[in-house]
Structure 1
Amino acid sequence: MPKVLISDKMDPQAAKIFRERGVEVDEITGKTPEELIAIIGDYDGLAIRSSTKVTRAILAAAKNLKVVGRAGIGVDNVDIPAASAAGVVVMNTPFGNSITTAEHAIALMFALARDLPEADKSTQAGKWEKNRFMGVEMTSKTLGLIGAGNIGSIVADRALGLKMKVVAYDPFLTPERAKDMGVEKVELDQLLARADFITLHTPLTDQTRNILSAENLAKTKKGVRIVNCARGGLIDEAALKTGLDSGHIGGAALDVFVTEPAKESPLFGTPNFISTPHLGASTTEAQVNVAIQVAEQMADFLVAGGVTNALNMPSLSAEEAPKLKPYMALAEKLGSLIGQLEGDAIKSVAIEVEGAAAELNQKPITGAVLAGLMRVYSDTVNMVNAAPLAKERGLDVREVRHDREGDYHTLVRVTVKTDAGERSVAGTLFGNASPRLTEMFGIKVEADLSGAMLYIVNEDAPGFIGRLGTTLGEAGVNIGTFHLGRRDAGGEAVLLLSVDTAVEEPLLWTVCRLPGVKTVKALTF
């Protein structure tokens, strides 16, 4: 039974769902990093919110860990490169608190427009300063969205309902999507010059850090009001204070800060500044939603192999997983075969699918090929870390999908390029379940790939098989299965033998010296 640790406070529905799905779960919260390191080795999954920091040290201690699930959107508390290197899937729940965060951004826009916090404070102090609090209407104003993804699109929809004009800067926003959203796609400088209100809805990356820098804040329209419910670090906080003090920025509302919890900040006490303690996802509905979603996603992965909202591997639904499993087994064997035979000589790899395989999600098939191929470099490689490892080694990876019908109802072909040229292997599924090699370097060979095997390229000549059998028999090696293919009679032939025991190097050299032998290689599957 898979075992999951919930290390941050989470709605009880999460633990309930884990248990209903056949996953053992412990709820142990508030642990120090050292305490977490001491216990994490017992768990297959780690469910977190924002408090637990999943560092390289914690991942190094998590020998059995397969998945980290973040109940929420932001994963800046997870070392994703280290998780990928360790073969650990990292998931989040990008939709569970989208509405809640968008509504909080809209609420802060209203609060800025009408100076609600100060008006409330003044009124409760017994003052009646009706003329002091002169606000602005939001109708007909221009809202500038920096980031138009899940949350940004909801904010845009609500703003359009308020009769605002919406412009959006997002490098990933297509013109078609912008049209569907009812927004105008613009460049950042255009947005800064035109927006009466600016809201930020992007993750914190090297590209977005301080996207509202001192230089960019100086480009904004005088009197602009700025809202950030996304991530601290998107705004230069010192420059923001300068803009507020000078009056160039009409108001700012931050739900997030560079350092959290933000117990002190130069911005505190600044006129026209509103702050909340990272409340974007803090509604009853959102807390329940993200807890349910992270538990369902992690349970699907641990029990059925489904991968949803993963940040470091392709998605694979729980419904797809059983159907794709035999294809992924075939793909991994083909990758392993060509990886063991070509190794460091490989410069690029192409994965082609046709027939039934072409109708499926190809990303997991590609991941399985890379996992098999990269296994010659690491015995801990899997579908999570195979792609980064391939990239690290400079391999160019290409996917090809064919609609044509071939000799087999389904076919997966893996072609690698080396300095010596292209080499390919191909395979199919027998009975839609059993992986079978069908072609090797242009030679038709039908073979199961399993256990210890011996790969031999030789000249097709009478008596060779007898000499080989005698040599292996005298060394005490029993042949399990025998698979032979050749280009032409008397030409080059390929032998794949399954053997009951691995063939050691001295015996390989003996086989290599047999007349007609060109290549000998021991394989393991």
Structure 2
Amino acid sequence: MDKPCVVIAKPAYDVWKPSFDAANLPVRYALIESPEVAILDGKEVAPADVPANAVWLTIEALRGPLRRTFKHLLETAPDLQWVQSLGAGTDIPLLQDVLKRGARLTTAHVSSISIAEFVMRTVLERFHRSDERRMSRAAKEYPRDDFREIYRTTWLIYGMGAIGSCIAERARAFGAHVIGVRRNPTGNEPVDEMIAPSQVLDTLGRADVVVFSMPSTPETQNIANADFFARMKPGSVFVNIARAALTDEAALLASLDSGHLDYAVLDVHSVEEAWLYRKERMDDSPLWTHPKIMLSPHGAGHGDGRHVRITELFIDNLRRFLAGENPLPDEAWL
């Protein structure tokens, strides 16, 4: 029997070739060099002729000139068995199609550390009024104002998977009281309290910081609506590092403008989704310039350590796949 064929974008493979050499796994690597050329067994072949059994979806496979090539492979490879995703979510159509074809799909939580650090940094910046202090320095002024402490604040983290757990661990290290929200808790979540989604609205009034780290599902879309924000504690901070579809942005803007909410951190939002999925600019969106919104381009997970972690994860999962392990860690299902 031929060795399984594992498809990887050549730029990604070249960077981590020493790791693949050290792993010395019994596979054939098909390296996608361009939309027209793949390297298999030392020879140039058409990407459409690659007998793909497994695919590693690196960023090069999802964006840029190789995107359509990988999409075609995922849609047409007759013997595709397993795909390793780059992120934690499975709600994008490409990954849903992989599952519908009957191929196995594993997700990755390698950005959890990066996202948790992002959340702590952005909340600290607001609590400490860092923007005002920078302006004071530029004006050569030295105000002696108090700043808010995280110590003894209460955080409600909606979604206690890998990302939510990393955030909870760090918030508790600062002395915060953390309330976790999860449909099916394991009992091992690093929180002080655990509640069900049905209890969230009645608990919002206790939280100084509310963080969204849950998946986007029909049940959670626009869950942060006018009623949700009205029930939040006056002067609290809202953070969404999950999906834009969870938030009614008009309701959020109204709550910020009224002074009920103090601040919002949006790493996912309509501006980002318009550009990512439709290549449309939303230069007139009030999200760009609102003084109480920190806007970032879905980059909370872009810590430099994620590259090593995803490579180690892929090689480990590839080893498990070859050994016939079922299910694989963090395997997704329809």
Query: TM range, normalised to the smaller chain?
Result: 0.7 to 0.9
Relative to total residues, which structure has the larger strand share, 1 or 2? Answer: 1
**1:47 is matched with which residue?**
56
Larger Rg: 1
Report the equivalent of 1:108. 122
Cα deviation, 1:458-491, whole Å, max 9, x if unaligned, reads: xxxxxxxxxxxxxxxxxxxxxxxxxxxxxxxxxx
Q: Would the aligned equivalents of 1:56 and 1:79 in 2 still touch at CA under 8 Å?
A: yes
- SS of 1:295's partner is helix
Partner of 2:27: 23
Does residue 266 (structure 1) correspond to residue 280 (structure 2)? The answer is no
Match of 1:127 in 2: 139
Match of 2:88 in 1: 73
* Offset, 1:227: 1.4
Cα offsets for 1:341-360 (capped at 9, x unmatched): xxxxxxxxxxxxxxxxxxxx
SS at match of 1:25: strand
Any unmatched runs of 5+ in structure 1? 33-37, 314-387, 389-525
- CA distance in 1: counterparts of 2:288 and 2:141, whole angstroms: 23
Q: Structure 1 pair 238/204, CA: closer, same or farther in 2 (3 Å)?
A: same
Once the two structures are TM-superposed, the CA of residue 251 in structure 1 deviates from its matched residue by: 0.4
Partner of 2:111: 97
Letter in 1 for 2:306: A
Alpha-carbon distance in 2 for matches of 1:269, 1:71: 31
Q: Does 1:298 align with 2:318?
A: yes
| CA deviation vs aligned residue, 1:485-523 (integer Å, no higher than 9, x gap) | xxxxxxxxxxxxxxxxxxxxxxxxxxxxxxxxxxxxxxx
- Following superposition of structure 1 onto structure 2, how do residues 213-252 of structure 1 map, counting pairs within 5 Å? 213-252=225-264
Q: Higher relative contact order by CA 8 Å / sep ≥ 6: 1 or 2?
A: 2
Task: Provide the rounded CA distance (Å) in 2 between the counterparts of 1:115 and 1:270.
Answer: 16
Tell me if 1:281 matches 2:294: no
Task: Work out which of the residue numbers 163, 179, 182 in structure 1 matches 2:192.
Answer: 182
* Alpha-carbon distance in 2 for matches of 1:13, 1:279: 22
> What does the per-residue CA deviation read over 1:400-457, in whole Å, with 9 as the maximum and x for residues that have no partner?
xxxxxxxxxxxxxxxxxxxxxxxxxxxxxxxxxxxxxxxxxxxxxxxxxxxxxxxxxx
Aligned to 2:169: 157
Unaligned runs of 5+ in 2: 37-45
CA distance in 1, matches of 2:71, 2:316: 26
- Which residue number corresponds to residue 137 of structure 1? 149
- The Cα of 1:78 is off from its aligned counterpart by 5.0
Change (3 A) 1:10 1:242: farther
Give 1:129 deviation, angstroms: 5.3
Tell me which residue corresponds to 1:6: 8
Distance 1:39 1:123, change over 3 A: farther
User: Given the superposition, is the C-alpha separation of residues 11 and 292 from structure 1 closer, same or farther in structure 2, using an over 3 Å criterion?
Assistant: farther
Q: CA RMSD of the aligned region, Å?
A: 3.2
Contact 2:136/2:142 (8 A) holds in 1: no
AA aligned to 1:72 is G
Q: Partners in 2 of 1:211 and 1:4 — Cα distance?
A: 40
Please list the CA deviations of residues 226-258 of structure 1 after superposition, one character each: whole Å capped at 9, or x if unmatched. Answer: 112223322222222222222221001122224
Partners of 1:198 and 1:11 lie apart in 2 by: 39
**Residue 42 (structure 2) aligns with:** none
Q: Quote how far apart the aligned CAs of 1:273 are.
A: 1.2
Matched, 1:204 2:223: no
User: Any conservation in 2 of the 1:15–1:295 contact (CA below 8 Å)?
Assistant: no
Question: What SS does structure 2 have at the residue aligned with 1:212?
Answer: coil
Once the two structures are TM-superposed, the CA of residue 91 in structure 1 deviates from its matched residue by 0.8
Cα distance, 1:149 vs. partner?
1.9
- Relative to structure 1, the CA distance from residue 56 to residue 277 in structure 2 (aligned partners, 3 Å threshold; closer, same or farther) is closer
Aligned partners of 2:9, 2:228: CA distance in 1, in Å?
39
Change (3 A) 1:157 1:18: same
Q: Shift in Å at residue 84 of structure 1? A: 2.9
Give the counterpart letter for 1:77 in structure 2.
I
Per-residue CA deviation, residues 213-235 of structure 1 (Å, 9 max, x unaligned), is 23312221121101122233222
State the identity as a percent.
25
CA contact (8 A) 1:10 1:287 kept: no
Instruction: Give the corresponding residue for 1:327.
Output: none
Q: 2:100 is matched with which residue: 85, 109, 123? A: 85
Shift of 1:155: 1.7
> 1:211 Cα shift?
2.2
Q: Distance in 1 between matches of 2:10 and 2:89?
A: 15
Call closer, same or farther: CA 1:165–1:85 in 2, change over 3 Å: closer
